């Protein structure tokens, strides 16, 4: 099995934007673990985070399948890549897009650029897996930002998504998220068939992000 992923979505938390985003990324880069640590950051913070934490994998939180030209406010994949992004989230519960949007983005980005498509349930995960992104992440919207991990609140959606995605394509990795905050949550996610986790507040709202990060990878 490849190294498990721990993807931290910085969202627009006050504790994970601007200079705070750089500090959090540096804390992630300094964690000693065999897991792949990935920071998903605001497009505005991308260049600064890449510079502040050399060696840390940095993803965008969203991209648009647009060409060069008159596209005010849209996020061009080539610009993100030039600024150091190695991947992106797409279709997060807080920024939904169409299947066509995801498909067009996958066609536009280079093969080595990783795309993690987010799904609210097993059926959406199955549909996204058919497009063959690098990862599909299942996150029940009602559990996002909550105190109970999806691995405890609804383990069947995790295992069910893992099986559904594998049935569609063995090339697509599976992540899960929503309420994931501890090493036990991460370990259980792996046991349920995932390649890792996608999380946010468990790190971004922690009083000590380094302690939270070390706990998350403690059982890997």
Contact indicator for 189, 154 with CB cutoff of 8 Å: no
Smallest Cα–Cα separation from 61: which of 110, 125, 17? 17
State mean pLDDT over 150-161. Answer: 92
Number of domains in the chain: 1
Query: Would you say residue 198 has pLDDT above 90?
Result: yes
Write the pLDDT tens digit of every residue in 75-96. 999 999 999 999 999 999 999 9
Return d(Cα 114, Cα 140) in angstroms, integer.
22
pLDDT tier at 13, thresholds 50, 70, 90:
very high
**What backbone torsions phi and psi does residue 57 show, to the nearest 5 degrees?**
-75, 130
What pLDDT is attached to residue 92? 97
Return d(Cα 153, Cα 104) in angstroms, integer.
34
Residues marked as catalytic: 92, 139
Query: Would you say residue 1 has pLDDT above 60?
Result: no
What pLDDT is attached to residue 159? 95
Domain harbouring 64, CATH code: 3.20.20.70
Mean of per-residue pLDDT scores for the chain: 95
What pLDDT is attached to residue 14? 95
State pTM to two decimals.
0.95
3 DSSP 8-state letter: P
Smallest Cα–Cα separation from 118: which of 88, 146, 85, 142? 88
Contact indicator for 140, 159 with CB cutoff of 8 Å: no
Write the pLDDT tens digit of every residue in 116-143. 999 999 999 999 999 999 999 999 888 8
Could you list the residue range(s) of the whole structural domain that residue 162 is in? 5-216
First-to-last alpha carbon distance for the chain, in angstroms, is 12
State mean pLDDT over 21-46. Answer: 96
pLDDT tier at 144, thresholds 50, 70, 90:
confident
The residues, any chain, with a CB within 8 Å of residue 113's CB and separated by 6 or more, are: 77, 81, 85, 86, 87, 88
């Amino acid at each position: 099995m490849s190294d498990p992923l721990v993807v931290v979505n910085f969202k627009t938390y006050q504790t994970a934007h601007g200079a705070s985003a750089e500090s959090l990324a540096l804390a992630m880069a300094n964690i000693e673990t065999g897991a792949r640590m990935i920071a998903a950051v605001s497009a505005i913070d991308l260049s600064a985070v890449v510079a502040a934490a050399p060696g840390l994998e940095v993803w965008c939180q969203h991209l648009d399948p647009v060409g060069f030209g008159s596209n005010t406010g849209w996020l061009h994949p080539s610009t993100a890549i030039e600024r150091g992004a190695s991947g992106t989230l797409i279709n997060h519960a807080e920024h939904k897009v169409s299947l066509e949007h995801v498909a067009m983005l996958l066609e536009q980005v280079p093969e080595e650029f990783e795309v993690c498509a987010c799904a609210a349930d097993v059926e959406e995960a199955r549909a996204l897996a058919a497009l063959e992104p690098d990862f599909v992440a299942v996150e029940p919207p009602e559990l996002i930002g909550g105190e109970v991990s999806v691995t405890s609140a609804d383990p069947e959606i995790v295992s069910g998504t893992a099986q559904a995605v594998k049935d569609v394509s063995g090339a697509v990795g599976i992540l899960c998220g929503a309420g994931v905050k501890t090493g036990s949550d991460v370990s259980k996610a792996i046991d349920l068939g995932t390649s890792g986790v996608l999380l946010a507040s468990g790190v971004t709202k922690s009083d000590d992000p380094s302690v939270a990060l070390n706990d998350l990878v403690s059982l890997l």
